[in-house]
Amino acid sequence: MTMAVLDTVFPVLPYVQWTIIIALFIGTGKLSLDALWQNHMSTDYCGGIGIAWSFNLWVIPIIKLNKSISAVTSLLETSRRGGMWLEPANAAFAVLLGINAILVSQHPDATEAELWKQYAFSSAALFQVAWWERVFIFPLEDWIAALDKEKGKAGGSEDRWMDATTGMALHRDMDKWCRYHSVRATIPFIAGLVALSAKMRW
């Protein structure tokens, strides 16, 4: 890459870097949670580092209050809706941080060029999310989906109450899901902290 091109890119990089860092901390987009209150009400949650952590902090506890088998659908639909933007955003930030690391390594200021390592680490960290989800979270969601043994039968799932055994199994699996998701939610936070450390001159 010629220096003329790099000289054009370098002034823009700080804006890109801050945009990614802020997005990793506060989340991007809007998560619709109307699956939680099917046929009753709908609500939108927007903002905060709590976008990812909101699943653990209040979404799952609310779903646990549902004693019907529709709790299974609520969890899976909420996860699906979150994944619609969390997964593409995470992948995009991982790629952008990787490109950013390469560009920063070419900076004429040696001190600035050394910061490529932080951005490379952040990029590598974000790439870990994909395999974590596919190895731990997605198989567990398939297991949870199987709890609704009568799916497709006449009558809405909200009308079918869970027996004690199914309820205990669902709550146990939801707790496990929260533990797996806490790792998934923490990785972007760590990536954001490391990228932020490159912007802070202590």
Convert the pLDDT of each residue in 13-71 to its tens digit.
999 999 999 998 876 333 333 333 443 333 333 333 456 677 788 888 999 999 888 89
Supply the range of the domain harboring residue 192.
Answer: 3-199
Residue that wins the pLDDT comparison between 192 and 149: 192
Q: In the 3-class helix/strand/coil scheme, how is the chain assigned residue by residue?
A: CCHHHHHHHCCCHHHHHHHHHHHHHHCCCCEECHHHHCCCCCCEECCCCHHHHHHHHHHHHHHHCCCECHHHHHHHHHHHHHHHHHHHHHHHHHHHHHHHHHHHCCCCCHHHHCCHHHHHHHHHHHHHHHHHHHHHHHHHHHHHHCCCCCCCCCCCHHHCECCHHHHHHHHHHHHHHHHHHHHHHHHHHHHHHHHHHHHCCC
When divided into structural domains, the chain yields a total of: 1
Convert the pLDDT of each residue in 164-174 to its tens digit.
898 999 999 99
